[in-house]
Amino acid sequence: MPLRSQNEGMTVPSRLPIVQAPMAGGPSTPELAAATNAAGGFGYVAAGYLTADALDDLLRRTRALTSAPIGVNLFVPGARAPDEAAIAEYARSLSGEAARLGVEPGDPRWDDDAYDAKLDRLARSGVHTVSFTFGGPTPEVVERLHDAGTQVAVTVTSRDEAEQAAGIGADSLVVQGTEAGGHQGTFDPAAPNTTRLADALAAVKGVGLPMVAAGGVMAAADAVAALEAGAQAVQIGTALLCTPEAGTSAPYRRALLERAYDETVITRAFSGRWARGLANRFAREHADAPAGYPEIHYLTRPLRAAGAAAGDADVPNLWAGTGWRAVVERPAADVIAAIAAGL
């Protein structure tokens, strides 16, 4: 199929219909966003887990490396954990692991990830797009960003979520299939998303907003299938994890490149929200972890950090999509060029 360009109605301001996934917690870096832009794609800054000041610093560093438009992704705050007793029991179950690693479990607290403060900065930042995960913003937030000249994208996994996003004035939809690595963007986190990307695109297409397809896009054939299904662009994350520009930790990279685990699983073990990652020991041993984001994220963070520091890939979250076996160690520009060559 012919390569699609911005002049043909793309929803991303880039030469190629390829978007770098915002991967919070380390893999996303200014260097990765800039490399994506330089290769013709659309780079993203991941604002999850950052303070507002840290986001400002990240934006400054990114803009020092690229003058092209960039996007920023925010986590929409959710409700407090539904079962505090279950989280307390989960904390007790981690005591042996924590002792082995020489750390104490973290405080399973709730917070809003500095949501309002980061919105205040972004409304003055001049970024091209702000995308939202774990739900949609209020219509007032959308209006505020529109007044600032910023587009709004919302991550959705179903027709109902897409219609909600359209109702609040979203400009585009990031349609996420179950194949995607990392946290699932479902509005209601009660059940995992099991809808494949192709089915999600078919269901959401009728809403009429531009779609960016996310989940399992590792090669040109994956991108072509998504574009032919109605997406205007594809989002890639797992494919970029072992690029030199990514901030992926050393044990995480080794686990991917050495195929240390047999499969991926959808789990709440690390954060209390459903997410897909490599099936390491921690994920397998805690398959019954309760709901509670960000409480469990904070609870397990010291363990995950200690495991990564010790080079133990069996403990940290190793987010990866179902196409993880195709991960290679090469520059982001080469990954993007390989996908673009087949469009």
pLDDT band at 7 (very low <50, low <70, confident <90, very high): very low
Cα 174 from Cα 209, distance rounded (Å)? 10
Average per-residue pLDDT for the chain: 96
Average pLDDT over residues 130-148: 98
Sign of CA dihedral 177, 183, 189, 192: positive
Which residue has tokens 């349609």? 175
Residue 336: pLDDT over 70: yes
Element housing 218 (H / E)? none
Residue 3: pLDDT over 70: no
Tell me if residue 269 falls in helix, strand or coil: coil
Six-digit token string for 196: 């494949």
Asked if 302 and 104 touch (Cβ cutoff 8 Å), the reply is: yes
**Complete edge-to-edge strand list for the sheet that includes strand 233-236:** 18-20, 233-236, 211-214, 172-176, 151-156, 129-133, 70-75, 43-46
Residues in Cβ contact with 173 at an 8 Å cutoff, skipping those fewer than 6 apart: 153, 154, 155, 156, 162, 165, 204, 207, 209, 210, 211, 212
Q: What was the pLDDT predicted at 259?
A: 97
Asked if 174 and 22 touch (Cβ cutoff 8 Å), the reply is: no
pLDDT band at 4 (very low <50, low <70, confident <90, very high): very low
pLDDT digits (tens, 9 = 90+) for 72-93: 999 999 999 999 999 999 999 9
pLDDT band at 321 (very low <50, low <70, confident <90, very high): very high
pLDDT band at 11 (very low <50, low <70, confident <90, very high): confident
Task: Please tell me the pTM assigned to this model.
Answer: 0.95
One-letter identity of residue 183: H
pLDDT digits (tens, 9 = 90+) for 218-244: 999 999 999 999 999 999 999 999 999
Q: What was the pLDDT predicted at 9?
A: 44
Tell me if residue 208 falls in helix, strand or coil: coil
In percent, how much of the chain has pLDDT > 90?
A: 97
Domains detected in the chain: 6-77+113-246+325-340 (3.20.20.70), 81-111+262-317 (no CATH)
Residue 2: pLDDT over 60: no
Residue 27: pLDDT over 90: yes
Relative to beta strand 233-236, strand 151-156 is unpaired
pLDDT digits (tens, 9 = 90+) for 119-134: 999 999 999 999 999 9
Cis peptide before 30 (omega within 30 of 0): no
Residue 191: pLDDT over 90: yes
In percent, how much of the chain has pLDDT > 70?
A: 97
Which residue has tokens 């966003």? 33
DSSP H helical segments within the chain, as ranges? Answer: 30-38, 52-65, 84-93, 95-101, 115-122, 139-147, 159-167, 197-204, 220-228, 250-257, 281-285, 295-309, 332-340
In 67-79, which positions are buried (b, 16+ CB within 10 angstroms) versus exposed (e)? Answer: ebbbbbbbbbbbe
